[in-house]
Structure 1
Amino acid sequence: MKFYDSILIGTTLLVFGQSAQASMWQAIGREFTNMGKHIAKDLINVGLKAVNETMNIGCRTACPRLCEDKVGMYFCPFVCVPLCNRGKRSLRKGSDYSGHLMPMPNKFSAYDLNDDGVVSVKEFAFVTGHTMDQNDLKTVFALADRNGDNVLTSGELYGGPFVFEMDLNDNDYQYCQYIINRRTQSTRQPHTQSVKTKDITNKL
């Protein structure tokens, strides 16, 4: 092989090597670009989820019982209203509804009529003066029944959209203690907390 042939082959290999190297770096660059796009998309999704969760926390729904005199009889259906960035105590002002607000009893035992540790639709309807086929009762019960088993544990009852007597209590110390107890109850396992929660709420 002549000298200039060697140079030509070497130059050709060098050019192809640089071209291959450039292609490799381009491929790596594309991978990083795609990775960056996926990361950015994931971050956006996480951010949107956080915003939605924050809005949901700030805009919870409360469903107080509101009584009105109709044709000479009082009816007290559940009426759901948004409580954006406000607590249930703001319902006392009556700016979000019409009718007399009737808060529900605090004690779990007032609803658990057969003492089995959970509240059925039938029990809840009886205590609140409803029938099981009323739409407002079905709506609020479904909102509270997080696992969809058609019964309410104490955590689900107190974590639901219902307005209890202590939600509207004027005694700030009792109210704060009630909120702390209720949050504790809501974070416990659904079917293992009922008896303990009943003991706590009986002291209120």
Structure 2
Amino acid sequence: MKLVVVSAGLSVPSSTRLLADRLAVAAQRQAPAEAPAEVRVVELRELAVDIAHNFTGGFAGRELSAALDAVTEADGLIVVTPVFAASYSGLFKSFFDVIDPEALAGKPVLIAATGGTARHSLVLEHALRPLFAYLKAVVVPTGVYAASEDWGAEGLDERVERAAGELVRLMTGLSLGRPARAEVSSGTSAAAVFDGAEVVPFEQQLAALRPAG
């Protein structure tokens, strides 16, 4: 399954990229052997000029087009931004403004951010989650925020592992549910069987979460 990491860090080295790499490694580690995660990283810093040209000229260059295709075709996304003015960075928002508004519909997304102080941790709920809800993506319950004091402290590794696990479970349901090896009756719908394990289609998982009536 294809996992694409979008990192909006500007410096080299970047704490944003460091967090993105930790999340990607955790997702790879938790991915099932029958569906390993193939990771591709999109560094927005390298695409800043192309993104600006796309806005002014309406044409995406070769590298930006490749990045957009990778995001569109991914089974899941990890998106990480530094906090600027209590929100995501302008570069981060500009990249997702370029993407077709329907391209992320139903796609699992893990949101994460970095900042200098823990006071900005609500950026996950007040900025990132609403953005991807608008894009109709499925945002995993656990977001990961890393302030300067979080590096090396207790708690960050646990959040990384939990969020990565949630993303992998959604991605696995999508990627294994498509090429169903066989079908078994599961109530009024069908569930895929992969190597003896039942894999419930993602749409069916969502339906089970909706309140009855």
**Whose helix fraction is larger, Structure 1's or Structure 2's?**
1
TM over 0.5: no
TM-score (norm 2): 0.23
TM-score (norm 1): 0.24
- Work out which structure has the larger RCO, using CA pairs closer than 8 Å and 6 or more positions apart in sequence: 2
**Whose strand fraction is larger, Structure 1's or Structure 2's?**
2
Larger gyration radius, structure 1 or structure 2: 1
